[in-house]
């Protein structure tokens, strides 16, 4: 039975909404570990994620057969069970009902590139990394996907997506005597294809990674405590994502300090932060997984907390318009509220001006992981950083972490750069989502604690 027929039959159920998300995606996973392709895998994921809203509660079912009618009935049964524990019924904010085909913007899709070319690119990167003896071990992962996703709902929505992405991840371990270090790099593409990814110089990437590794192995330990810091676009991006972005996801906002702060000034007027479309953004999309058109969300505008990220359920609760942030990792998960590309907006300081007047502090250039908590405490791992001494970049530091209370740290942003950059990542909130984060260089005079052995 096809989806339309199954949805027609579902009209007999007492459900207020039925959503069928079908995916048929083929993925390639390659992993080159120290000269051996330990992963050489093709994978086909095909199945249905079905959500039913009945009696004010959600039911979700995943199937990987074509028995869609049974899947809908199963999700309906789940919703009825859940509704016995509902006090305030879930309702959905209305959205424009569309029929659309979302064509990929990639010029050269990954499936049109030969496996040989993908392999050679990975081997070239490995060769360049291993030119130096300090590089002890390398892991290069490559992943691409192509296929389709179709969202069909009882409201008449039908959107088909031409799904394509490329993701690359690199981990390099260094060893020199008893000095050890490890650095990572990640890149992801959804709008641009091999025409952009294939042009990235493996030689330049290897050189950058080796520099970071040497800095770690030869760097000094940072001094534990609170110091002025200047964060690079990569690091400020992860602070935007972890420290503030998560608090602006409506399902988390309700339990965070942000709930009482909407419409209030929470940062100096020169601070603006958005979750929006950015060129090459890994979180870019036309519609979300509920079929809502994705729009820019101005989380902080001129220092005032303005907007939060919503799905249809939370938009109804907050009496706001849905803005396209319901995302599901794949058909085995229901969509939940997620970020896309979270960025601080640039201002007018040069990098040199940001460093001016700092007698002792840290320049944080690159990160490795981060995490947020509802009390707005955040942590970001730092894999590349430098001491700032008398307004100049000085010696590198070993890997460490920074932490702070986001709503306090925001107040202590003292200057914002005029440049802009983004980094790619995979955010985990029970399920994975491709995201970007970034911004300009930003200076904090206080409220960021750096870890260290000293």
Partner 1 sequence: MNLIKYGEKFFDEIEIEIFRKKEISAVAELNQISSTATRDLKGSIIRGIKDGKIGTYILDSSDEKSIKEGVEKAYKIALKNEKDENWHSLPEQQKYSKNKVNREIKSIREDYLVDSLVLSLKKVKDKKPEAIVVGAETGSVWEETEIHNSHGIDVSQNNAGTYFIMALSEKIGENVTPTIFDMDARRDANLAYDKVIDSTIKKVKNAENVVKAENGEFSILIEPFALGEILQFALYPAFSGERKVKGTSILADKINEKVMSDQITIEDNPFHKLSINTLIADDEGVATHRNIIIEKGVFRGFLWNTYWGNIASKESTGNGLRSFRTGSVGIGFHNMVISPGKKTMEDIIQEMKKGYIISSFQGAHSSNPDTGDIAAVANPAFYVEDGEIKGSTVFMVSGNIYNIMRNVAEVSREQKPIYAIARGIYPGVLFENVKIANVSK
Residues 85-104 contacting partner 1, CB under 8 A:
85-88, 90
For partner 1, the closer of residues 361 and 440 by Cβ is 361
58 touching partner 1, by CB under 8 A: yes
Contacts with partner 1 in 102-141 (CB under 8 A)?
A: 115-116, 119, 136-137
How crowded is the C-beta side of 94, counted as CA atoms within 13 Å? 3
| 3 and 20 Cβ atoms separated by less than 8 Å | yes
Among 147, 405, 421, 426, binds partner 1 (CB under 8 A): 405
Calpha distance 299→339 (Å, rounded):
11
| 229 and 402 Cβ atoms separated by less than 8 Å | yes
For partner 1, the closer of residues 119 and 196 by Cβ is 119
257 touching partner 1, by CB under 8 A: yes
Calpha distance 37→118 (Å, rounded):
12
The burial of 439, by beta-carbon neighbours within 10 Å (0-12 exposed, 13-18 middle, 19 or more buried), is given as: buried
For partner 1, the closer of residues 201 and 255 by Cβ is 255
Contacts with partner 1 in 330-369 (CB under 8 A)?
A: 332, 334, 368-369
Closest to 276 measured CA to CA, from 82, 88, 40, 437: 437
445 touching partner 1, by CB under 8 A: no
| Phi-psi label, residue 319: left if phi above 0, alpha if psi -120 to 50, beta otherwise | left
How crowded is the C-beta side of 377, counted as CA atoms within 13 Å? 3
Among 78, 328, 387, 427, binds partner 1 (CB under 8 A): 78
74 touching partner 1, by CB under 8 A: yes
Shortest distance (Å) from residue 349 CB to partner 1: 27
For partner 1, the closer of residues 89 and 103 by Cβ is 89
Of 61-69, 154-162, 358-366, 413-421, the window that binds partner 1 (rule: CB under 8 A) is 61-69
Calpha distance 7→12 (Å, rounded):
9
The burial of 37, by beta-carbon neighbours within 10 Å (0-12 exposed, 13-18 middle, 19 or more buried), is given as: middle
For partner 1, the closer of residues 137 and 302 by Cβ is 137
Give the count of residues interacting with partner 1 (CB under 8 A).
Answer: 85
Pairing, β 57-63 against β 225-226: unpaired
For partner 1, the closer of residues 38 and 350 by Cβ is 38
For partner 1, the closer of residues 295 and 411 by Cβ is 411
Structural tokens at position 159: 């959107």
Of 13-21, 293-301, 350-358, 375-383, the window that binds partner 1 (rule: CB under 8 A) is 375-383
Shortest distance (Å) from residue 100 CB to partner 1: 26
Of 91-99, 101-109, 193-201, 248-256, the window that binds partner 1 (rule: CB under 8 A) is 248-256
Span between the terminal Cα atoms of the chain, in Å: 66
Shortest distance (Å) from residue 446 CB to partner 1: 11
Contacts with partner 1 in 16-45 (CB under 8 A)?
A: 29, 31, 34, 36-45
Structural tokens at position 287: 């519609």
Calpha distance 180→124 (Å, rounded):
24
| Phi-psi label, residue 160: left if phi above 0, alpha if psi -120 to 50, beta otherwise | beta
370 touching partner 1, by CB under 8 A: yes
449 touching partner 1, by CB under 8 A: yes
Among 260, 263, 319, 352, binds partner 1 (CB under 8 A): 260
Bridge partners (DSSP) of residue 171 are 139, 184
Contacts with partner 1 in 217-236 (CB under 8 A)?
A: 224-226
Of 92-100, 174-182, 202-210, 340-348, the window that binds partner 1 (rule: CB under 8 A) is 174-182
């Amino acid at each position: 039975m096809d989806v339309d027929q199954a949805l027609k039959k579902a009209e007999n159920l007492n459900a207020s909404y039925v959503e069928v998300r079908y995916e048929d995606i083929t993925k390639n996973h390659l992993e080159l570990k120290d000269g051996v392709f330990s992963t050489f895998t093709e994978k086909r994921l095909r199945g249905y994620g079905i959500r039913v809203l009945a009696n004010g509660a959600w039911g979700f079912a995943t199937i990987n057969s074509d028995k869609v009618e049974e899947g809908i009935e199963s999700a309906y049964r789940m919703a009825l069970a859940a509704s016995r524990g509902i006090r305030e019924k879930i309702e959905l904010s209305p959205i424009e009902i569309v029929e659309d085909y979302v064509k990929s913007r990639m010029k050269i899709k990954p499936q049109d590139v030969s496996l040989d070319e993908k392999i050679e690119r990975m081997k070239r990167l490995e060769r360049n990394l291993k030119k130096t003896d300090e590089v002890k071990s390398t892991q290069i992962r490559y992943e691409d996907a192509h296929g389709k996703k179709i969202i069909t709902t009882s409201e008449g929505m039908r959107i088909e997506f031409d799904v394509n992405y490329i993701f690359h991840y690199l981990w390099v371990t260094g060893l020199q005597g008893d000095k050890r270090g490890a650095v990572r790099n990640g890149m992801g593409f959804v709008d641009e294809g091999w025409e952009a990814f294939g042009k990235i110089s493996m030689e330049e990437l290897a050189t950058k990674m080796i520099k970071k590794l040497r800095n770690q192995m030869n760097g000094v330990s940072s001094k534990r405590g609170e110091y002025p810091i200047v964060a690079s676009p990569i690091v400020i991006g992860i602070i935007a994502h972890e420290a503030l972005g998560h608090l602006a996801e409506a399902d988390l906002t309700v339990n965070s300090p942000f709930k009482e702060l909407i419409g209030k000034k929470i940062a100096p007027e020169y601070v603006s932060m958005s979750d929006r479309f950015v060129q090459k953004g890994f979180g870019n999309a036309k519609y979300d997984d509920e079929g809502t058109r994705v729009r820019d969300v101005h989380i902080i505008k001129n220092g005032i907390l303005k907007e939060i990220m919503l799905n249809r359920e939370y938009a109804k609760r907050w009496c706001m318009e849905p803005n396209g942030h319901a995302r599901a990792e794949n058909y085995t998960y229901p969509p939940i509220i997620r970020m896309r590309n979270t960025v601080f907006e640039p201002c007018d300081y040069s990098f040199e001006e940001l460093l001016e007047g700092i007698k002792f502090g840290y320049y944080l250039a690159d990160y490795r992981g981060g995490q947020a908590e509802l009390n707005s405490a955040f942590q970001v791992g730092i894999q590349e950083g430098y001491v700032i001494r008398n307004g100049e970049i000085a010696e590198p530091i070993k890997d460490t972490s920074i932490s702070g209370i986001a709503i306090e740290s925001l107040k202590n942003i003292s200057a914002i750069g005029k440049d802009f950059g983004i980094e790619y990542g995979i955010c985990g909130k029970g399920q994975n989502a491709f995201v970007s984060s970034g911004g300009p260089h930003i200076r904090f005079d206080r409220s960021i604690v750096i870890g260290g052995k000293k």
